[in-house]
Structure 1
Amino acid sequence: MVKARMLEVARDRLVLIWNLLFAPLLMVGMALVFSASPQTVAKVGVLGEAPLSAETYPFLGTPAVQFYRETTPEEGILKVERQSIDLLLDLRSQPARYWLNDDSAKGRLLQQLLVAGDSRAQAQPVSGEKLRYADWLVPGLLALNIMLSSLFAVGHVIVRYRKSGYLKRLKGTPLRAVEFVGAQMIACLILVVVITAAMFTACNAMLGLRMEGNYLNLLLVATLGSMSMIAMSLLVAARVASEELSGGLLNLIAWPMLVLSGVFFSLDGAPSVVQALAALLPLTHMLDAGRAVMLDGAGLLDIAPDLLALCAMTALFLALGAWLFRWTQD
């Protein structure tokens, strides 16, 4: 069954070509979309529980600057080093402290505005290489490709098998349901990981991506993330026999992850409700772990919470999918 499924995919060359070109084409499109001047010209992280308003601190009323609450100084300083944010402001101390990157033109401009309103603020300069948007975006595009390939390669295909009567014929063979579902998962996992590795290699060759961590750790993240997405697709494929309905349900699953998981933009500064919902999605954990490995050089212990979350979600989705699975519609 694994061999049959892989041969079926390999013979559809147009799908394979599209999967390989998806990330580069989408990256070019996103670069064109974001080439316009944004309304927000700078981003500042703030440490402290006080409201983010000019009444609390005059600098917080600076127009065209996005202020958000940072959780820990360590995370904020790392973002300043990579120039993911332009300045980190600590309002917990008196006088206030702030961190800026000496190589950031926006950071120096914000420093002048800050000191003009509070001359006692203490500077804490840091240094670091600027993080390119491509380095941050490519992991999101690869994770997005994993999500779409995993959801539709299993969920849509099994529904098509059920609608065409293929599953009904398989039911009359010694093949058990767990063996069939397992074969579909293994075949899809192999194909998704191989295609994603090829896409990563191509993007790395063209862009020279930043890679601070271990490639094996990144492969483990991609594998566990793919497994969780494939298992999630079984919830749709378990009983549905309509390809139109399955397509709608799979899109209903995919779009919230696309919007809430931080594929194209950071969730820093998003409402706490949005961040809580994002934590329930497997794509969020795959992206957080993947970016931590690539951009921060995180090890297995650092990304262990995300990996455990992916394993738990995979087990839950598999259990529900196996319980709901039916060979035929009736």
Structure 2
Amino acid sequence: MLESSPLAQLTRVRFLSFAREPEAVFWTFVFPVVLALILGWAFREADPVPGSVGVVIPGGDIPAAFLGSAAAQTLSLDGYADIDNARRDLARGKLDAVLVMAAGTEPRRVLLDPAHPEAELTRLRLAAALRLPRDGPPAFEIETVAQRGTRYIDWLFPGLIGMNLMSTGLWSIGFAIADMRQKKLLRRFLVTPMRRSAFLASFVCSRFLFLVIELALLLAFALLIFGVPLQGSLLTFAVIGLAGTLCFAATGVLLAARARTMEGITGLMNLFMVPMWLFSGVFFSYQRYPEAVHPFIKLLPLTALNDGLRAIMLEGAALTALLPELAVLLGWIVLPLAIGLRVFRWE
């Protein structure tokens, strides 16, 4: 009786229809497991990370007596001869604190950024390393250094800009081409003298019309609403943004070169973008992953774009300092575009 029931028959049809679509099965059952494994790998339990402290002392050589103390157990020490260099690394987040010492081993003062999440813990570790009572009077003067660009939102927003450039670049081109192919509109271009390169280039060029508005709105929102700093040149920011836009536009051309349906292009887009979200440092730093995979992560286009945007906005990096990131983005422009032009089909 159940076999003749319309409800049973329709339920069976829907189940079989779902089971015959690999994309649906993957995103429903496989993807959550893969996502949990990758995030568990990134946020795995690890030994406590030593606090990074820059020690400013004439000559830049840290006294052996200090190196041999308990500081070696809880702190990572780097010697600086110039306090300006130490301040710069503190501003960039490379140091948790700066310990300014005299010619001997007697500490003078400690520079801390209260917005830095490890600042207070590093101060306590320094006090313990110098054998000072936890609640006793400090033997060093604490100097508060308010650095721009050390908040999480300051670090996060360049990654959100990069992610937005990736998403709009891929979806606006990939969806448009796949939709035209599914609706049989591309067939009409077969009888025209237009070359495929001109057709695909029109999609890439159309992104330029929106790029200026898109970048301007995102940057204005970051600066005015959240107070995210822009330490570097606006022109350098635009160049990196342009390179990132071209990169993902070219990738969108490649992904849509053979996609026949909207479901197919959606699966390809997600297959490309999800690794970027997880590995490229959008919401958390890729430094959480083992150091052995960092060279491969740095070859991802969104990693290069995010690193470049953060260097410009938070560190004031010049264009010449971003040549490695530009090289990665250029490679992701040339290769996908060349392959996409070669494998593109009108039907």
The alignment's TM-score, normalised by the length of structure 1, stands at 0.69
Cα 1:170–1:68 shift into 2, 3 Å: farther
Aligned to 2:204: 185
1:203 alignment counterpart: 222
In structure 2, relative to structure 1, the CA distance for the partners of 1:201 and 1:243 (3 Å cut) is: same
Q: Aligned partners of 2:214 and 2:114: how far apart in 1?
A: 37
The alpha carbon displacement at 1:191 in A equals 1.8
Q: Rg: which structure is higher?
A: 2
Corresponding residue to 1:162 among 181, 191, 197:
181
Alignment equivalent of 1:242, drawn from 224, 242, 261: 261
Tell me the equivalent position of 2:319: 300
Whether the aligned pair in 2 keeps the contact of 1:159 and 1:241 (CA below 8 Å) is yes
Given the superposition, is the C-alpha separation of residues 126 and 203 from structure 1 closer, same or farther in structure 2, using an over 3 Å criterion?
Answer: closer
Partner of 2:147: 129
What residue number does 2:51 align with? 44
Superposed counterparts of 1:74-89, under 5 Å: 78-82=88-92, 86-87=96-97
Q: Contact 1:143 / 1:283 at 8 angstroms: preserved in 2?
A: yes
- 1:3 corresponds to which residue? none
Q: d(CA) in 2 for partners of 1:107 and 1:310?
A: 35
Instruction: Give the % identical residues.
Output: 29
One-letter identity of the residue aligned with 1:44: G
In structure 2, how many angstroms separate the alpha carbons of the residues matched to 1:46 and 1:236?
46
Q: What is the letter of the counterpart of residue 91 of structure 2?
A: E
Provide the secondary structure at the position in 2 that maps to 1:101. Answer: strand
CA contact (8 A) 2:305 2:325 kept: yes
Q: Any conservation in 1 of the 2:98–2:112 contact (CA below 8 Å)?
A: no
Query: CA distance change for structure 1 residues 154 and 88 in 2, over 3 Å: closer, same or farther?
Result: farther
Offset, 1:225: 0.4
Q: Mind listing any 5+ residue stretches in structure 1 that lack a counterpart?
A: 1-38, 48-55, 90-94
Partner SS state of residue 194, structure 2: coil
The CA deviation at 1:269 is: 4.5
SS in 1 for 2:285: coil
**Out of 195, 199, 206, which is 1:176 matched to?**
195
Instruction: Judge conservation of contact 2:96–2:112 (CA < 8 Å) in 1.
Output: no
Partners of 1:293 and 1:313 in 2: CA distance: 21
Aligned-pair RMSD on alpha carbons?
3.9
| Cα distance in 2, alignment partners of residues 313 and 83 from structure 1 | 29
Cα distance, 1:302 vs. partner?
Answer: 0.8
Counterparts of 1:277 and 1:297, CA distance in 2: 26
Q: CA deviation at 1:156?
A: 1.7
Structure with bigger RCO (C-alpha 8 Å, 6+ apart): 1
Which letter does structure 2 place at the counterpart of 1:80?
L
Residues 1:118 and 1:204: Cα distance change in structure 2 (over 3 Å): closer
Would the aligned equivalents of 1:149 and 1:192 in 2 still touch at CA under 8 Å?
Answer: no
2:273 maps to amino acid: A
How much has 1:219 moved relative to structure 2? Answer: 0.5
* 1:160 shift after superposition: 0.9
Q: CA deviation at 1:61?
A: 6.9
Aligned residues: 271
Q: Look up the equivalent residue of 2:237 and give its one-letter code.
A: L
Alignment of 1:324 onto 2:324: no
Output one character per residue of 1:99-158: Cα deviation in whole Å (capped at 9) or x when no partner: 9633438535423334424659x9998945152222221111111110000111111211
Alignment of 1:86-165 (within 5 A): 86-87=96-97, 101-104=111-114, 106-117=118-129, 127=145, 129-130=147-148, 131-165=150-184
Distance 1:75 1:313 in 2: 35
Please state if 1:265 is matched with 2:275: no
Listed as ranges, the gaps of 5+ residues in structure 2 are 1-44, 55-67, 100-104, 133-139
2:53/2:96 contact within 8 Å kept: no
What is the identity, as a one-letter code, of the residue corresponding to 1:101?
L
- Note the C-alpha offset of 1:82: 4.7
**Partners of 1:69 and 1:238 in 2: how far apart?**
53
Q: After superposition, what is the alpha-carbon deviation per residue over 1:3-22, rounded to whole angstroms, capped at 9, x for unaligned?
A: xxxxxxxxxxxxxxxxxxxx
Instruction: For residues 24-46 of structure 1, give each alpha carbon's deviation from its aligned partner in whole angstroms, at most 9, with x where no partner exists.
Output: xxxxxxxxxxxxxxx99997348
